Structure 1
Amino acid sequence: MKALFGGLLYCFSLLVQVHGTNFRFYGYEPQRISPAIQYTRPVARPELPLGTQAAQNAISATGRQCKSRPLDLVLIIDSSRSVRPGEFEKVKIFISDMIDTLDIGQYATRVAVINYASTVKIEFHLKTYFNKVDMKQAVSRIEPLSTGTMSGLAIRTAMNEAYTEKAGARPPSQNISKVAVIVTDGRPQDKVQEVSAQARASGIEIYAIGVDRADMQSLRLMASTPLDDHVFYVETYGVIEKFTSKFRKTLCGEDICSLGTHGCEHICVSTTDSYYCKCQDGYILNEDKKTCSREVKPVAVVDPCKCESLVQFQRTVQSAIQSLASRHILSTDLY
């Protein structure tokens, strides 16, 4: 998953040039980015409304549609009392901008949002929305919870509730990466080290983004390793908003199925590093895992005349008559 946010490093360096030194992030100085990470500076283009066809064309790489690799992505946002109303609106813009960078869909990236303070609220699950319009409208309706900062409880909720198959997470057999991004501006009021370790051990990759008053040590305890790639810090929520607009291509990866159907008769579904075939409704996948056959459902035979019951009834009556006849013959013989 290093590729998922590796491009952030380059985007941060751009912001240093444009906005000065009003932010920093753990483990790096912008001028010291490893030369092993090579990037191509994007061609300057006028800003276009997100979601339009023109915008989609603008973020295409070398004429080919740029699509994010499939993820089960859970965004965990701090809405404690320290986050002012205007700042929380910027958090929602940040989430909406991130959604715009993704290839959202049932067989692509699924997104859930967890809102937390002293309590935790799952705003929507991974299975709730499979299109950007409805998802972003749901984000716009999120209200802050105020009060405390229970980051550990939020991560536990993500692990135990948001990342279940019942909630829309895909099974391990599909090899879909589970990624959590937590955004906070404070110090957790509960213990995050143990629950974060459990979440990471369960296969969840955690990115921690700290804003303003965020405690850097807590971010390090929550995030996955290497910390240089998973811990980020910005001084204001305003910088986050500008930052997201600079890395629309960061989450772009190779969608294996976009390169061809790979022999799938109906539907090719990309995973993190492979693919699998799926059939349309009413069909089942054959043993070759490529072709599909129409599903034949067993037809229940209804006996309108209830013949089986009638036969049983006749047998019961016949047995009763024979029993009565035997008794009659016996009583006659006695007289």
Structure 2
Amino acid sequence: TEESYSCRCLEGFRLAEDGKRCRRKDVCKSTHHGCEHICVNHGNSYICRCSEGFVLAEDGRRCKRCTEGPVDLVFVIDGSKSLGEENFEIVKQFVTGIIDSLAVSPKAARVGLLQYSTQVRTEFTLRSFTSAKDMKKAVAHMKYMGKGSMTGLALKHMFERSFTQVEGARPLSTRVPRVAIVFTDGRAQDDVSEWASKAQANGITMYAVGVGKAIEEELQEIASEPTDKHLFYAEDFSTMGEISEKLKKGICEALEDSDGSQDSPAGELPKRVHQPTVQHRYLFEEDNVSQSTQKLFHSTKSSGSPLEEKHDQCKCENLIMFQNLANEEVRKLTQHLLEEMTQRMEALENRLRYR
């Protein structure tokens, strides 16, 4: 009226007690949502979420238990500067949501995580944690790297290291499914096809998640076939929750379809072949910490004679040690050159920007 006024709020908001300020409506409390486990406000609407160890059913409201079968899963997370710290926090929530859907334990789901930028950093390996609680705490404390985007280098690191027994992966002979979830928000500064192809050819199921400026061609190279089940894309971070639910559902269905038997004899070495050994110890209960287990190496020159192998055992172990050292030095040199190139590119970009 001419002598007084009243305040009104935009759609999705309600007037506070003081009659002046507006507060967002709690849709979950103001409507019969029908969510079996958890209701989460989402703009002017809501979405349903499930408790740890469950995934959303097809109706988007009920929850069903995810399989407790074994899986070795590694996240490969983009920490480049184009992402931004705010969106990096959303990605961390995305990772936590996936972890919640798995039965994390040494005998069921083992999870590792890499963050990459100009360099690749192992945040935790498949053997680092034996509970979802500790794993999620590590994700929450993860620091944003914020530099370049070397996706190919990250895939190389994942393929060569993350799925090794040294870092907690179970042997191929156990037929435990190996899964990688690669998240990126932009074009890679290196080639992704070589290491994505090698990973797929070696039985790693690759999921590609792209947001914003992510290049569809690169996502298709990363994702396993069929791509409609292994590739997820969103224009912005507002739909990350939906992608998370679809991804969790896909992983659980894939685990249900696999036999996941850890007692399978497939891939065992012939009993008659005598081979030099290197002793290892493992962290997990099932690997029997009190006993040493053997990692076997094939020798192309071995005839199967125990006497011949006794003679060649030191040579074999020294050769392996030398090869590992040489590979590490080459990796360091390559990493140094890539860092130098990225720094020069960033300096050139800054110079062009301020001209």
Fold shared, TM-score > 0.5 on shorter chain? yes
The corresponding residue for 1:147 is 147
The corresponding residue for 1:276 is 263
Separation (CA, whole Å) in 1 of partners of 2:290 and 2:148: 51
For structure 2, list consecutive stretches of 5 or more residues without a partner in the other structure.
Answer: 1-33, 41-49, 265-284, 292-355
Shift of 1:273: 3.8
Q: Which amino acid aligns with 1:138?
A: A
Q: Does 1:127 align with 2:127?
A: yes
Q: Which amino acid aligns with 1:55?
A: S
The corresponding residue for 2:7 is none
The answer on whether the counterparts of 1:68 and 1:101 sit within 8 Å (CA) in structure 2 is no
Q: Which amino acid aligns with 1:173?
A: S
Q: Which amino acid aligns with 2:244?
A: T
Q: Deviations over 1:285-315 (max 9, x none)?
A: xxxxxxxxxxxxxxxxxxxxxxxxxxxxxxx
Q: Could you tell me which of 36, 39, 43 is aligned with 1:45?
A: 36
More deviation, 271-280/77-86: 271-280
The answer on whether the counterparts of 2:53 and 2:100 sit within 8 Å (CA) in structure 1 is no
The answer on whether the counterparts of 2:52 and 2:101 sit within 8 Å (CA) in structure 1 is no
The corresponding residue for 2:306 is none
Q: Deviations over 1:188-220 (max 9, x none)?
A: 110111121112122211111110110111111
More deviation, 89-98/189-198: 189-198
Q: TM-score, normalised by structure 1?
A: 0.59
Is the alpha carbon distance of 1:117 and 1:173 closer, same or farther for their aligned partners in structure 2, counting shifts above 3 Å? Answer: same
Q: Deviations over 1:37-84 (max 9, x none)?
A: xxxxxx7325179xxxx9359769899854343211000010101011
More deviation, 139-148/90-99: 139-148
Q: Which amino acid aligns with 1:213?
A: K
The answer on whether the counterparts of 1:114 and 1:122 sit within 8 Å (CA) in structure 2 is yes
Q: Does 1:232 align with 2:219?
A: no
Is the alpha carbon distance of 1:251 and 1:143 closer, same or farther for their aligned partners in structure 2, counting shifts above 3 Å? Answer: same
Separation (CA, whole Å) in 1 of partners of 2:55 and 2:219: 31
Is the alpha carbon distance of 1:90 and 1:117 closer, same or farther for their aligned partners in structure 2, counting shifts above 3 Å? Answer: same
Q: Which amino acid aligns with 1:47?
A: I
Partner SS, residue 182 of structure 2: strand
The corresponding residue for 1:77 is 77
Partner SS, residue 263 of structure 2: strand
Shift of 1:253: 5.2
Q: Which amino acid aligns with 2:207?
A: Y
The corresponding residue for 2:163 is 163
Q: Which amino acid aligns with 1:147?
A: K
Shift of 1:241: 2.9
Separation (CA, whole Å) in 2 of partners of 1:64 and 1:146: 37
Partner SS, residue 38 of structure 2: coil
Q: TM-score, normalised by structure 2?
A: 0.56
The answer on whether the counterparts of 2:66 and 2:101 sit within 8 Å (CA) in structure 1 is no
Partner SS, residue 76 of structure 1: strand
Shift of 1:109: 0.8
1:139-288 to 2 correspondence within 5 Å?
A: 139-244=139-244, 249-252=249-252, 272-276=259-263
**Percentage of matched positions with identical amino acids:** 33
Separation (CA, whole Å) in 1 of partners of 2:228 and 2:129: 32
Q: Larger relative CO (CA 8 A, sep 6+): 1 or 2? A: 1
Is the alpha carbon distance of 1:237 and 1:60 closer, same or farther for their aligned partners in structure 2, counting shifts above 3 Å? Answer: closer
Q: Which amino acid aligns with 1:163?
A: F
Separation (CA, whole Å) in 2 of partners of 1:233 and 1:112: 23
Shift of 1:144: 1.4
The answer on whether the counterparts of 2:177 and 2:255 sit within 8 Å (CA) in structure 1 is no
Shift of 1:107: 0.6
Shift of 1:166: 0.4
The answer on whether the counterparts of 1:68 and 1:252 sit within 8 Å (CA) in structure 2 is no
Separation (CA, whole Å) in 2 of partners of 1:97 and 1:118: 26
Q: Which amino acid aligns with 1:78?
A: D
Shift of 1:146: 1.3
More deviation, 75-84/247-256: 247-256
For structure 1, list consecutive stretches of 5 or more residues without a partner in the other structure.
Answer: 1-42, 257-270, 285-335
Q: Which amino acid aligns with 1:274?
A: S
Partner SS, residue 159 of structure 2: helix
Separation (CA, whole Å) in 2 of partners of 1:247 and 1:230: 8
Q: Which amino acid aligns with 2:109?
A: T
Q: Which amino acid aligns with 2:192?
A: V
The corresponding residue for 2:113 is 113
Shift of 1:237: 1.9
Q: Which amino acid aligns with 2:201?
A: A
Larger of the two Rg values belongs to structure = 1
Partner SS, residue 209 of structure 1: strand
The answer on whether the counterparts of 2:53 and 2:102 sit within 8 Å (CA) in structure 1 is no
Is the alpha carbon distance of 1:100 and 1:195 closer, same or farther for their aligned partners in structure 2, counting shifts above 3 Å? Answer: same
Separation (CA, whole Å) in 2 of partners of 1:107 and 1:70: 6
